[in-house]
Amino acid sequence: MTENDILAAFAEIVYDVARIDPTLVTPEKRFVDDFDIDSLSMVEIATAAEDKFGVSIPDSALSDLKTVGDAVNFIAKAGVAA
Amino acid sequence: MTLTTQARILALGEYRPERLVTNAELPSTLDTNDEWIRERTGIQARRIAGADETVVSMAAAAAGKALATAGIDPVDVGLVVLATCSMPTQIPGGAAQVAQLLGTTAAGAFDVNAACAGFCYGLSVAAGAIQTGSAQHVVVIGAEKLSDWVDWNDRRTAIIFADGAGAAVVGPAAKSGIGPVEWGSDGKLSHVIAVPPGGKLLMDGPAVFRWTTTTLAAVARRACSKAGITPDELAAVVPHQANLRIISALARQIGATNAVIADDIVEAGNTSSASIPLALSRLLADGRVRSGDPVLTLGFGAGLTWAGHVIEVP
């Protein structure tokens, strides 16, 4: 799975949880400042991403994921074969 | 009394403190607003107890109403179980004082601290006491004055927690109206909801949200299975009123497609062990459930602890 594939699948999760248009979910976007996503929605996104990508995203890591790119990189490094 | 005696809830009672506090009326020092609170919790208002409204007095008021509705004389109560985690004193517990206010010293009395799951634990203990013949009638109360324990400068908790009491009178029945309890605990997460010694209530909201939305639907389904029914047969689901977003997520996951989902939190806030009897009492008063309906209760909170069972509406 390439980072672009991860990004596309991740954008679907962001849409399911927060109803953000997937075309707007690009690496430089910030969850809080650009999408107004709160901490509970971030947990929903994380648990959905854990299911979809088979990775673990603990709460301790979650607070460091400020942008879409941060999340995609985390998922890529956490075990999805590139 | 024979060993075949079963137990059911005979009546409910509630006490909601006089003072209603809307989101707009919260202290400005919390740096929040109505929209922010509603989006994150679903709460629009909550009851905050006054100085003369204590855990014990609210518990006794709710229990007194439940006994009056059931038509049971307090001297015929064999056991008083007070579920609470917000007594102002560590010693003594509050249950004996509640019994005394009700007008009896003939009842055994003890407190249960299983936090927001406490009422379900108490109900299960009550059913057991009746089934074994230890008591004929048991009063189970969830009562909290959490406003004493929150840090009124911490918006993570001050906007959520509130005060109140709900009670049930449990008595003998030919057919069980309190299903087998499905309970459990996880002490490794004891830190996510805690009052440190000498401190105020702290909660790691995202950790609690993750725990509740990834594990508790399975608990709910097991509770239904133990009672011999499927989630789509439930008339209502009464989860602990923790946060409307947790409640909504659980409702979707449980698959109780024909059930009313209790939402008392909107006007009552999170009253910990009081929230389930308060929410059930409200559903009954509003005609959203009827006597005899099967309802799933699901308590969960600090400890961590959880407990759920299918009960029959009195």
- What digits encode the pLDDT tens for the residues A25-59? 999 999 999 999 988 999 999 999 999 999 999 98
**Residue B106 reports pLDDT greater than 60:** yes
Q: Does B103 touch chain A (CB under 8 A)?
A: no
Q: What's the pLDDT band for B1 if we cut at 50, 70, 90?
A: very low
Nearest Cα neighbor of B274 from B157, B139, B125, B116 is: B116
Nearest chain B residue to A38 by CA distance is B40
Apex B27 CA angle, B239 and B43, nearest 5: 20
Interchain contact A38–B (C-beta under 8 A)? yes
Q: In which residue are the tokens 């401190």 written?
A: B199
Contacts of B136 (CB under 8 A, 6+ apart): B1, B76, B78, B130, B171, B172
Q: Is the link from the previous residue into B92 a cis peptide, with omega within 30 of 0?
A: yes
Which residues are registered as beta bridge partners of B238?
A: B297
**Residue B23, both tokens:** 């989101």
**Is A59 contained in some domain?**
yes
Q: State the angle between helix axes of B118-131 and B275-285 in degrees (0 to 180), rounded to the nearest 10.
A: 80
Q: What is the CATH number of the domain that holds A50?
A: 1.10.1200.10
- Separation in Å, CA of A46 to nearest CA in chain B: 9
The amino acid present at B97, given as its one-letter code, is: Q
* Rounded average pLDDT over B60-66: 98
* Fold (topology level) of B6-173: Peroxisomal Thiolase; Chain A, domain 1 (3.40.47)
Q: Residue A11 falls within a domain, yes or no?
A: yes
Q: Which domain holds residue A34?
A: 3-77
**B256 pLDDT above the threshold of 50:** yes
Residue A82 lies in a domain: no
The CATH number assigned to the domain with range B182-312 reads 3.40.47.10
| Bridge partner residues of B187 (DSSP) | none
Distance CA(B255)–CA(B265), nearest Å, equals 21
pLDDT of B267: 97
What residues of B are in contact with residue A65 (Cβ under 8 Å)? none
Residues of B in contact with A47 (CB under 8 A): 210, 213-214
Please give the pLDDT value at position A2.
87
Q: Which residue has the higher pLDDT, A79 or B93?
A: B93
**Total of domains in chain A:** 1
Q: Which residues neighbour B257 within 8 Å (Cβ) at sequence distance 6 or greater?
A: B231, B232
Q: A54: exposed, middle or buried (C-beta count within 10 Å: 0-12, 13-18, 19+)?
A: exposed
User: Domain limits of chain B?
Assistant: 6-173, 182-312
Edge-first strand listing for the sheet containing B294-301: B182-185, B305-312, B294-301, B236-239, B260-261
> Around Cβ B255, how many Cβ atoms within 10 Å?
15
Residue burial B87-119, b: 16+ Cβ < 10 Å; e: rest: beeeeebbbbbbbbbbebeebbbebbbbbbbbb
Residue B135 contacts residue B128 (beta carbons within 8 Å):
no
| Residues B124-181: tens digit of each pLDDT | 999 999 999 999 999 999 999 999 999 999 999 999 999 999 999 999 999 999 999 9
Distance of CA A62 to the CA centre of its chain: 10
Q: What is the pLDDT of residue B142?
A: 98
C-alpha torsion sign, points B157, B159, B164, B166: negative
Average pLDDT over residues B190-200: 95
SS3 A41: helix
Exposed e or buried b for every residue in B14-24, given b needs 16+ CB within 10 A?
bbbbeeebebe
Domains B6-173 and B182-312 share a fold: yes
Q: How far apart are CA B74 and CA B63, in angstroms?
A: 10
Rounded CA gap, B205 and B55, in Å?
25
Assess: ipTM above 0.85: no
Task: Establish if A56 touches chain B: CB-CB under 8 angstroms.
Answer: no
Q: Is A39 on the interface with B (CB under 8 A)?
A: yes
pLDDT band, very low/low/confident/very high, at A82 (cuts 50, 70, 90)? very low
CA torsion sign for A49, A50, A55, A56 is: positive
Average pLDDT over residues B34-50: 95
Q: Residue B3: its pLDDT value, please? A: 55
Q: Sort out which chain B residues have CB atoms less than 8 A from A62's CB and list them.
A: 206
pLDDT band (50, 70, 90) for residue B183 = very high
**Section B253-273 average pLDDT:** 96
Residue count of chain A: 82
